[in-house]
Amino acid sequence: MKITTQEISNIIKGEVFGDSNIVVTSFNNIQDAQEGDVTFLSNIKYEKYIHSTNASVIITPKLEIETNKTLIKVDDPVKKFSEILEIFNPKKNRKIEISKSASIGENCQIGKNVFIGNNCTIENNVVIEDNCSILPNTFIGDDVLINKNCQIGPNTSIYYDCKIGQNCIIHAGAVIGSDGFGFVSINGHLSKMPQAGKVIIHNNVEIGANTTIDRGSIQDTEICSGVKLDNLIQIGHNVYIGKNTVIAAQCGIAGSTKIGTNCMIGGQVAIADHITIGDNVKIAGKSGVIKNIKNNQIIQGPLAFEIKDFQKSYIHFKNLDNIISEFNKLKAYIDNAKNNTK
The Cα 233–Cα 253 span in angstroms is 8
Q: Which of 220, 214, 204 is nearest to 174 (CA)?
A: 214
The amino acid at 167: N
Q: What DSSP designation does 65 have?
A: -
Beta bridge partners of 185: 190
Alpha-carbon separation of residue 38 from 7, 10, 22 (angstroms): 12, 15, 10
316 is catalytic: no
Alpha-carbon separation of residue 110 from 134, 135, 165, 291 (angstroms): 11, 15, 15, 45
CB atoms within 10 A of CB 45: 7
From the DSSP assignment, how many helices (H) and strands (E) are in the chain? 5, 39
Q: Where are the alpha helices (DSSP H) in the chain?
A: 5-12, 48-52, 77-88, 307-318, 320-341
Strand order across the beta sheet in which 37-40 lies: 15-17, 70-74, 57-61, 37-40, 26-27
> Is the CB of residue 62 less than 8 Å from the CB of residue 12?
no
Q: Hey, is 130 helix, strand or coil?
A: coil
Q: What DSSP designation does 47 have?
A: T
What value does the CA radius of gyration of the chain take, rounded to a whole number of Å?
A: 27
Percent helix, strand, coil in the chain (nearest 5)?
A: 20, 30, 55
Name the active-site residue from 51, 171, 202, 237: 237
Active site residues: 237
